[in-house]
Amino acid sequence: AFTTTEKASQHLEGGAKKVVITAPSADAPTYVVGVNLDKYNASDTVVSNASCTTNCLAPLAKVIHDNFEIVEGLMTTVHATTATQKTVDGPSGKQWRDGRGASQNIIPASTGAAKAVTKVIPELKGKLTGMAFRVPVPNVSVVDLTVRLGKAASMDDIKSKVKEASESSLKGIIGYTEEQIVSSDLNGDTRSCI
């Protein structure tokens, strides 16, 4: 995997002008649109855009933290099948359950998204943890964020701020709906978080 600056730089040696790592990176500068893209340094040749889960979680965490202060939180993602999963049960070099068939199981998995969020929102360092469940759907995942807040807020207060952000500063990044949608209704949607 090319998730470090050193490994990803091999693409530069092959002729690429810039490299965007589409996974969390231990050492590459990390940016999430709507969260910290204003800190982007155009001279960086290797950057990370974190993960799809981080791109969903970070804008939502930013809205909640900026308005209500996240003291601590747990993020759970119910994640669509990925290309690294097995189609049927087979061997796995990491954990036994990683070798289980993707289309037949709900598979508990680790996620680096909670940690990756702290690279783009440093104030949340040590405040978030996370877990994942891989489920047999081809596209669209869910992030459930449960937080303890530093400022009192009702559910309506939080929903109002998320809706406000979806119509202003984070329009096109965060969406807001109270319609009774399901995951496949969001196929093709380009927003990071709805």
> How far is 74 from 76, CA to CA, in rounded Å?
7
Position 164 pLDDT exceeds 80: yes
Q: Give me the sign of the Cα torsion angle 94, 130, 30, 84.
A: positive
Name the pLDDT band for 170 (thresholds 50, 70, 90): very high
Domain residue extents for the chain: 5-179
Name the pLDDT band for 184 (thresholds 50, 70, 90): very high
- Kindly give the residue spans of alpha helices, DSSP state H, lying in the chain: 5-13, 52-68, 113-120, 155-167
Position 153 pLDDT exceeds 80: yes
The three-state secondary structure class of 185 is helix
- pLDDT tens-digit readout, 46-96: 999 999 999 999 999 999 999 999 999 999 999 999 998 999 999 988 889
Position 138 pLDDT exceeds 90: yes
142-158: average pLDDT: 98
- With left for phi above 0 and alpha for psi between -120 and 50, is residue 55 left, alpha or beta? alpha
What architecture is domain 5-179? 2-Layer Sandwich (3.30)
Give me the percent of the chain exceeding a pLDDT of 90. Answer: 93
According to the model, what pLDDT value does residue 29 have? 97
Position 1 pLDDT exceeds 80: no
In this structure, the strands spanning 70-80 and 128-135 are: parallel
Q: Report the Cα 37 to chain-centroid distance in Å.
A: 15
What are the catalytic residues? 52
111-139: average pLDDT: 95
Q: Report the Cα 53 to chain-centroid distance in Å.
A: 2
